[in-house]
Amino acid sequence: MTSGRHRALEAAGLLHPNAGLVTAKLFDGTNPFFLAEDKVQVKYEMLRANMVGGLSATASAAAHGYSRAAFYLVADSFAERGMAGLVDERRGRKGPLKLSPEIVAFLVSADVAVSGADLAAEVGRRFGVSLHRRTVERARQL
């Protein structure tokens, strides 16, 4: 195994958690290109073994260190997003905060007589962002 490749995979969070369970022939160590520690490569080859090689989902998953249920999650993600679907989702916040500077400016400049619920509805119409009335009320106090 290339230690540089291993370090890069580790830094990117792409190490296969069950590399020791990978028994597929491609990952037997005779070809250094196929690395059982490379989670994305193992997932790809697991799907390929099923779709092209004709292995059952259960057999393909077991040979690549995954459960049958995990196989189907990987397959669905791949079908939906292609190669990007083989990379695990990042943990934590999925996108920017709902309260962008533009939305906060709108809320702060709004008439104080307008309720938080009404302003939340207006933000939904104008900006396409769903806010709870309490979020609106807190933002107006800034």
pLDDT tens series, the chain, 142 aa: 458 899 999 988 899 999 999 999 999 999 999 999 999 999 999 999 999 999 999 999 999 999 999 999 999 999 999 999 999 876 666 544 678 889 989 999 999 999 999 999 999 999 999 999 998 888 888 7
Residues 55 and 12 in one domain: yes
Residue 55 lies in a domain: yes
71 close to 46: Cβ distance less than 8 angstroms: yes
Instruction: Specify the pLDDT at position 95.
Output: 45
The whole-angstrom separation of Cα 63 and Cα 92 is 31
Q: What integer pLDDT is reported at residue 90 of this predicted model?
A: 66
Q: What is the pLDDT of residue 96?
A: 45
Q: Return the ∠ at Cα 76 (arms to 69 and 36), rounded to 5°.
A: 65
Is the separation of the CB atoms in 110 and 89 below 8 Å? no
Query: For the whole model, what pTM was predicted?
Result: 0.63
Q: What distances in angstroms separate CA 16 from CA 6, 39, 139, one per listed residue?
A: 11, 4, 43
Asked, for residue 123, whether it belongs to a domain, the answer is: yes
Within this chain, do residues 15 and 40 fall inside the same structural domain, yes or no? yes
Question: Do 74 and 107 fall into the same domain?
Answer: no
Q: For position 1, what pLDDT does the model report?
A: 45
pLDDT at site 91: 61
Shared-domain flag, residues 82 and 106: no
> Do 63 and 107 have their domain in common?
no
Range of the domain at 131: 101-140
Work out how many domains the chain is built from and give that number: 2
Q: Helix H segments across 14-88?
A: 39-51, 57-63, 68-81
